[in-house]
Each structure stands twice: as structure tokens, then as C-alpha cells.
Amino acid sequence: MSANTMESEAIAARGLVREFGAVRAVDGIDLSVRRGEIYGFLGPNGAGKTTVIRMLVTLLAPTAGSITVAGFNAVTQPDQVRLRIGAALQAAALDDKQTGRELLNLQGRLYGLKGREIAARVADLTDLIDIGDAMGRLIGTYSGGMKRRLDLAAALIHQPEILFLDEPTTGLDPISRSRIFEEVAKINSELEMTIFLTTQYLEEADALAHRVGIIDRGRLVAQGTPEELKHSRGSDLIIVHLDAPVTPEVAAALEALSSVDFVDAHDSELTVSTGNGAALVSGVALKLNELGVGVRELTLRTPTLDDVFLQVTGSRLRREESEGDPEDQGQG
Amino acid sequence: MALASSTREITIRARKAGFFRDIFAVARRAVRSMLRDLETVIPALFIPVFMFVVTVGALQDFAENIPGLDYRAFQLPVAVLFAVTGVSRAITVVTDIQSGYFDRLVITPVNRVALLLGLMMADFVLIIALTIPVVIMGFIVGVYFVTGVLGILAFMLIAGLWGLIFNGFPYAIAFKTGNVAAVNLSFLLFFPFLFLTTLFIPQEQMTPWMSMAADYNPVTYILAAERSLITEGWQLTTIRNGVVATLGVGVVSLGLALAALRGRATRK
């Protein structure tokens, strides 16, 4: 790797492996996150996202492989890494018995900031997270959204070079979710802070992330800009939900239609990729009718990250299942 | 947005705060949290007073048949050890581990040992505070310290040192297991330490097996040091033995706590 590449990389992982006993939770991942970019890290339940993020933030040692964060080796120079990163991990990790201001003050002290530096940062972050008067209240009285925003502020108190966010919006209502993502976008654009983010909300990763990586069963199965990944699915998709599971014969019959790029079948869902969906949609409907297959729903649309996700992992991301998965808590 | 406005005028640069600053930062949070949880201190105040009243009430006349024994003075050190043994923030450690807040602390450049010593510093503040009402109770029932004010301070400090050293056990369990029930089991250590000793009567009056058990119990030497400060004066050998016995337990308890903390913080 060239010196220029290393300098431009905020996070670099090579051959990253983490085993928990006989279980290989992370299986040879290579990651490269450039300085100043927002990198969305996606994966189904138990895929190893949290294990990866815990290794990157020095909470967990890899079984094999190397990790460089902000130019320092995360295994042999964890203290240097810790000075340069901020992290808000799964579920707001706060102390309900402190006030918001006390928590931020403590964070500032632990990062070696002086009194006036802490005061300035707390004032700035109070504006950022829009908590206002509640900063003087015990955190135990905060709503879920307020806790998440305070968690974000705590991760930012020392103006880190790299911010790690592990599912920062899980369990939040749509308005709180949207506010968190707005704040993340502002932090990135104003401070040029590198942001490594895992999320279950693909549409938000699509809108926010400069590049996306998809992990499945401990392996990185796709990586690129959202546009590149979606483009890999073709320009149009015809999604068909059948009454019964898709048979190989039905898939083969559709694949034989002219102008079909490829057909994916998962349970009772068929995805037909084509360069011109409007021209093909009636042909698909007629062929299914001819085969005597019952159709529940047929839609034509452009690809989304969820379609990419389906293609590379074999299932769509189900948000409700991802919450509270013990295997994805970094324990295995 | 004001995110970068005022801090742009100040260059923010994270750095290691330093060992003592880390300890004070952690201790400050623990003391604040303790003041918000004062109800948890009530048992530590009630149990020693209750034990003192009941034991003295039941045994004073009988025990004072032993020539020269002032049973209230004999029991005051027991009361103070009951007050200070097991008063720790170990449950808070478990809560922090379970909520993920411990991970947040560990991601900072804080000195790992400060995470334990900060809590113990806060414990020490509370433990010393808890010795005060016990000493006042002693005054009320007529206990007199022949060593004077300095002796009273030494009495409080020796008790405080024991309370602090004992806390290594619940902290070790908290860091190792991250489990409240397991931490509560550390209370079981309380019984052999405080009952297999000269709790009710002087060692010479004990059965041989109990006297032998007391010989091997460091608390016997701590009680002897505390009692000497009340009734005998500055018996330096006795006081030294009490302090050495406490430090001996400390080597084990703090060694276990630091090992458990290292295991928790490195997560190999």
C-alpha cells in the first residue's frame, strides 16, 4: 500500500478475524475508510457488525489481522487511537444518576480537556443536540431520543477525528431518527469528521453514507458507493410476490425473456433485473399467468440498497429482529 | 449551527489527563452519585447501632465479670467494623457494565487503575463519614479514648483502611462477573471475617478451636488495635499488627480487583 493511501485512510483493517471459542464472528474482513467520509456498515442480525466496531474502537482485540485507526495500530497503540476517536455504541451508554452537563464534564476531564475547553465544548454541544434546559436534569428523566443525542454529544466532546456510531437510531421514533441523521451529516460536513456508522435503516444509509459496506456471516460481501451498489442490480427492478414459493422452473422461464439481466428468487419473492422495466413488466405478468402462478403483488421500481442487501445476503434487513441480538453485541 | 463556532477559537486536543486527575474525576462522579443514593447508607448506619445495643444489652453484665473489661469499649470497635465493612460502589460498577457506560469510560484514555481507585477514594469518604456516628454513639454511652483526639482519628483511619481493603472483594467480583447477585455474595465473606474473631468476648475466654480460628483471622488484630486505642493507650506493636493484617488482606483483595479490572478492560 502506498504512503498516500495510508495517509488518506482513516480506518484500515486487513484480514480481520475475531473468534469466540469455536465461533468465527468475523472472518477475514478488509476495510478501508477514507478520511472525511461517512461509511455505512450494514449487515443482518448477528452478521458481526458490532464485533467489528468493537475491535475498531479498541474494546476487543482481534484474533488475527491488523487494524489502523487514525494512523495508529489499534492493537499495539490503543491509547493513541482512543485520543482520536469518539464512539456512541449500541443503546445510549449513559449514567442515569448524572445530569447531562455532569456527564459531558466528566467525559471532557477524562479526555484531558481544561475547564474552559470543557465549558466551550459543552456550550457548543448543547446547541448541537438541542437539549437546552434538560442539561441540568438527571439523565434518567430523558426520553430515548434525548439520551441518544446526549450520547452523541459525549462522543464528540473532544472533537475526535473519527466518530463511530453503532446503530445510533435504533428504537427511536422517526422524528428523533431524522434529527440524529441530520446532526451526523452536519458534523461530517462542518468538521470533516470521518464517521463509521452501522444502521438498520438502509434508506438513511443510502442518503447519508458516501460509501457502504455490507457484512454477512462475518465476511464483507459488498462495498462501494450506494449508487455503485444499486447500479450493480440493474437500472430497473420488477419485484413480484407470489402466492407460493418460487420454483426453479418459474425463475428459469422469466430469465429466458428477452432484455432480462438476471432473476433472483427468495422464498415467494422474485426480483427481475432489466434495463427497461416499463417495457418488460407486461411480459413478466403474461409469462407468470401462462405458467399458472398466482401473483399477490407486482411492482416496478429502481433498485434500493435493500435490493442489494437481498442479493448479497439472501434476505431483506428486518429491523425489528436486529434489536437486542446478543450475538451482535460483540459477545459473539 | 454552533457546533464549531466557539471551539474554533480554542484548539481542542484530547490528551491523557494524568493519573491523579483521572482518579479525582472518577471519584467526583462516585461521590455525587453516592449523595443521590443516601438511602443505601441507612443499613450501614442501622446495623452497627443495633448490634451494639443488643450485644451490650445482652452480654455486658456477664462479660464484665472478666476483671478489668469495659464491655462498651470492647464492643465499640466491633460496631465500627460493622459500619464500614462492605460499603462500596461495586453495584454501580455492575450497572455501568450492564448499561454499556463502562465501555464508554474504557474507550477514553483514562488510566485503567484510576477506574478502581477513583471509586475507592469515594468509598473512603463515605466510610470515614460512617465512623463518625459510631464514635459519637460511643461517647453517648460513656466510652472514653485514653489516646485522646489523635487516638480517635487513628481509630477512624484504621477502620477506614479496613473498609477500603475489604472492598477489593466486591469490586473483584463486580469486574469479573458484571452480575449484581454475584456481588451480593461477597457479603458472605463478611461472616468469617467478623464472626470468627473476638467479636463477643476476649480471646482468652474462647474455646480452643475458636481461639485458633481467631489467631488466623486478620480482623482479630484490627480489633485489638482499635481496642488498644480506647483502653490501653498507644500500643505501637498492637497497632502495627492491626495495620499489617489489614494490608495483608489488601494484597489479596486489591490484587484480585486489579486483575479483574484488567480482564474487563482489555477484553482479549
Q: Enumerate the domain spans of chain A.
A: 34-61+75-226, 232-313
B201 occurs within a structural domain? yes
CA distance B141 to A204: 71
When pLDDT is cut at 50, 70 and 90, the band that residue B10 belongs to is: low
Range A239-255 average pLDDT: 90
- The domain made up of A34-61+75-226 is a member of CATH 3.40.50.300: yes
Q: Has residue B8 been placed in a domain?
A: no
Q: Is residue B10 part of a domain?
A: no
CB-CB neighbors (< 8 A) of A187 in chain B = 3
Residue B45 lies in a domain: yes
Of A59, A154, A186, the CB nearest to B106: A59
Per CB-CB distance under 8 Å, the chain A contacts of B108 are 82, 107, 110-111
Chain B 88-107, residues with CB within 8 Å of chain A CB atoms: 96, 99-101, 103-107
- Any CB–CB contact under 8 A between A119 and chain B? no
Question: What CA–CA distance (Å, rounded) separates A185 from A168?
Answer: 13
* Mean pLDDT, residues B59-69: 89
pLDDT digits 0-9 by tens, B107-155: 999 999 999 999 999 999 999 999 999 999 999 999 999 999 999 999 9
pTM: 0.84
- Residue B151 contacts residue B110 (beta carbons within 8 Å): no
Q: Kindly report the nearest CA distance between residue B22 and chain A, in angstroms.
A: 6
Whether A173 shows a pLDDT value over 70: the answer reads: yes
Q: Tell whether B225 is covered by a domain.
A: yes
**A112 with B1: Cβ contact below 8 A:** no
Of B1, B2, B101, the CB nearest to A95: B101
- Per DSSP, what are the bridge partners of residue A166? A198
Q: Which residue(s) pair with A299 in the sheet?
A: A239
| pLDDT for B246 beyond 60 | yes
pLDDT at residue number B268: 65
Q: Which of B3, B8, B16 to mutate to test the interface with A (most CBs of A within 10 A)?
A: B3
Q: Extract the C-alpha cell encoding B221.
A: 488484630
Q: Is B35 on the interface with A (CB under 8 A)?
A: no
Q: Do residue A127 and residue B28 have CB atoms under 8 angstroms apart?
A: no
Band (pLDDT 50/70/90 cuts) for residue B90 is very high
CATH class of A232-313: alpha beta
Note whether B36 contacts A: Cβ–Cβ < 8 A.
yes
Range of the domain at B59: 17-266
Instruction: Tell me which residue of A38, A95, A92 sits closest to A211, measured CA to CA.
Output: A38
Q: What is the mean pLDDT of chain B?
A: 91
Confirm whether B9 is domain-assigned. Answer: no
Look at residue A76 in the predicted model and tell me its pLDDT.
93
Q: Decide if B3 is inside a domain.
A: no
Chain B residue numbers touching A120 (CB-CB < 8 A): 6-7, 9-10, 12
Would you say residue B184 lies in a domain? yes
Question: What ipTM was reported for this prediction?
Answer: 0.86
